[in-house]
A and B are shown apart, each in its own frame.
Chain A
Amino acid sequence: MTTAAPAAHVLTGQHFMNGDLACAEGALAAGCTFFAGYPITPSTEIAERLARRLPEIGGTYIQMEDELASMAAILGASWTGVKAMTATSGPGFTLMMENIGLGMMTETPCVVVDVQRGGPSTGLPTLVSQADVMQAKWGSHGDYEPIAYAPASPQEMFDYTIKAFNAAERYRLPVFVLADEAVGHMTERVTIPEPSEIVLAERRRPDLPPGDGWLPYGVGNDLVPAMARAGDGYAIHVTGLTHDERGYPVVESQVHERMVRRISRKVQMHAPQICEYEKIMTDDAHVIVIAYGSTARAARSAVLAAREKGIRAGMLRLITLWPFPAGAIKDLANVVRRFVVAEVNLGQVAREVERYTRSPVNWVNHAGGTMLTPEAILRGIVQVKP
């Protein structure tokens, strides 16, 4: 089911704002009315903006005691039928992993924004990193398939926060906006469209009235169950334990197999609709640079500079990091000879790219604190030039 954005929430027009603020405005345009969070650099501006804006539109902002509580609170809020979000950075993302697992297991739609900073631990609180990519995939225990978007500009912080809410509502899971400090704190033009131009997805509701044998975790072909709201009379039971279609705990490997496969499969089977990437000058390219988030901006300059040197370079900008756009990489691997993966971590996506190609992959990276420069990426291109 889709609707247009709620008009009162949308600041239609041209703005000059940073990525964190654009993310907050994207959430409002997506229909978010509940935010629970805990201040942490470099995501704090999202909370500050929503602390002011949510009460204006009749929504709820609450500052919780920590990120464990923030994540728990947005899950609880989501079960009343509202769209809920939290925003954090690495140390908080780590704490949220516990209840992200609960959200995956109970299939609770919500959005978690992680504005990445240097880690491990307290690391570089004010400086950029992209080192939470694998934490987004594997951070909570057990098997699940996350969805994560990597915006590369304040405009995309707006656009992809909306897309994150839509994916959360369609597929019923916590969805990640995997931003980074550079994108969060960069100020640029942000165009907020008319509400009627913003298409929103809404979770499917039960098609039977209470008491008619509706199964809270029964699914059709799309493997996504409809979702009841607390207070509507369905007497739902929601548990982090392995559960059957009724939502009842079951200690059986077959039930566990069925449910864990399904919550993974529901994302995998929709990967073609979910995955987004941008191809730049790839048609005749011999060398492909793969980059995402703020690093994609430097990579674009590097590819243009390489072209000026006569090197047939192109770029694959990843927008969805999870599900990983393996198909796009496999297709390119059939026609190009070399890959360069540029990222601000020690090879988290480079290693993933190597799983999908036999061509050499040049890792251009550092541990964080500054953006990669176009020059560094260009050197990486020149090194592997066929």
Chain B
Amino acid sequence: MSRETAVKSHPLDPLLRADRLPHIWCPGCGLGSIMACLSSAIAASSIPAEKHVIVSGIGCTGRVAGYMKLDSFHTTHGRAIPFATGLKLANPELEVTVVSGDGDLFAIGGNHFIHAARRNIDINVVCVNNFNYGMTGGQAGPTTPVGARTSTTPQGATEPTFNLPLLAATLGAVFVARWTSLHVRQLEKAMSRVMEKDGFSFIEVLSPCPVGFGKSNDIGDGLDEMSMYRRNGVVSHDADLTEAGIDMKHDSPIVLGNFRDVERPALGVRQ
């Protein structure tokens, strides 16, 4: 029997820059699955692919823009949201999705996030939260849980963290969800929903970073962290978001769900 590999095209190939693969992400990273969810949501979207635009900042998640065969903008650190704001306001026909990391969106880019949510600019923001700065080798950021060891918190992190869904909802985001790279069906559905929705939508996606975070925090490799999401994940769409903070302890629940889906007059909406 021949041992030829049958190379078939993948249904998402038209949305990926296959000539740029393989990607740079580490084994066990959740970004590949998350990019597949985004691609599937775009493929299923009623908006033509050429009107979808991906904007990202800097970091591992920032590289998503470069792998998607769409108009894609890899901007400066923290500035994906204001760049996306310019795109969307100048051409409301575009469906603009920002995909970036927790450090990019909430440390260096935090001010832009709060103002974009306040304005209710019609963009989608997907924050891939891996609890650390992965690209630069695992430093602490504003989502690093208290006690977590990173290269810049060798004794354990001491600063309180952002609870991202609570923050987004408080600021007025019209759609707020949290899923993980394990919950691919729910994540894809949430992404489809925000592409239909007018206004500022926010999805937090938890993602393993075994190299930068998992190994040094007694979580293990990517699959171990995915097991933790399955074991500790509690889907509660009506959750009290003030109770939805994450500490990534082995016995702590991780609250997941589509927490908010409301209407509010939005800026930059397609006519």
Contacts and interface: CB of A to CB of B under 8 A. Distances in A.
Q: Which bucket holds chain B's interface residue count? A: 20 to 34
A237 B72 contact: yes
Contacts of A236: 71-72
A72 B75 contact: yes
A227 interface: no
A73 B55 CA distance: 12
A66 B113 CA distance: 12
A233 interface: yes
B1 interface: no
Interface stretch (B87-95, B99-107, B188-196): B87-95
Nearest to B58: A240
Given A60-B89, A102-B76, A76 B55 contact: yes
Interface string A33-67: 11010000000000000000000000010101110
Interface in B40-93: 50-51, 53, 55, 65-66, 69-76, 78-79, 81-91, 93
A241 interface: yes
B89 A73 contact: yes
B76 A248 contact: no
B237 interface: no
Contacts of B81: 69
Interface in A273-328: none
A81 B78 CA distance: 24
A81 B71 CA distance: 13
Contacts of A70: 82
A75 interface: yes
B17 interface: yes
Contacts of B264: none
Interface string A68-97: 111011111111111010000000000000
A98 B80 CA distance: 13
Interface in B165-199: none
Interface centre among A99, A101, A210, A238 (most CB of B within 10 A): A238
B13 to A, nearest CB: 13
Contact residues of A: prevailing secondary structure: mixed
Nearest to B88: A76
Contacts of A62: 85, 89
Most chain A CB neighbours (cut-off 10 Å) among B51, B81, B90: B90
B71 A230 contact: yes
A65 B111 contact: yes
Contact of A239 (B66, B70, B89, B111): B66
A238 B75 CA distance: 8
A186 interface: no
Contact of A232 (B20, B50, B90, B115): B50
A84 B90 contact: yes
A235 interface: yes
B111 A66 contact: yes
Contact of B86 (A34, A210, A233): A34
B82 A248 contact: no
A166 B261 CA distance: 45
A64 B21 CA distance: 37
A142 to B, nearest CB: 13
A98 B76 contact: yes
Interface in A198-242: 210, 229-241
A80 B91 CA distance: 6
A232 B93 CA distance: 11
Given A230-B53, A231-B51, A235-B69, A68 B82 contact: yes
Given A65-B112, A72-B82, A99 B76 contact: yes
19 contacts: A69-B85, A72-B83, A73-B83, A73-B89, A76-B82, A76-B86, A76-B88, A84-B86, A101-B76, A210-B50, A231-B51, A231-B53, A231-B91, A231-B93, A234-B71, A236-B72, A237-B17, A238-B72, A241-B74
Interface of B: 17, 20, 50-51, 53, 55, 65-66, 69-76, 78-79, 81-91, 93-94, 111-112, 115
Q: Which 7 A-B pairs have the closest CB atoms?
A: A76-B86, A73-B86, A69-B82, A77-B90, A72-B82, A239-B74, A80-B91
Given A36-B82, A62-B85, A234-B71, 6 more contacts: A64-B82, A65-B112, A72-B75, A77-B89, A236-B71, A237-B65
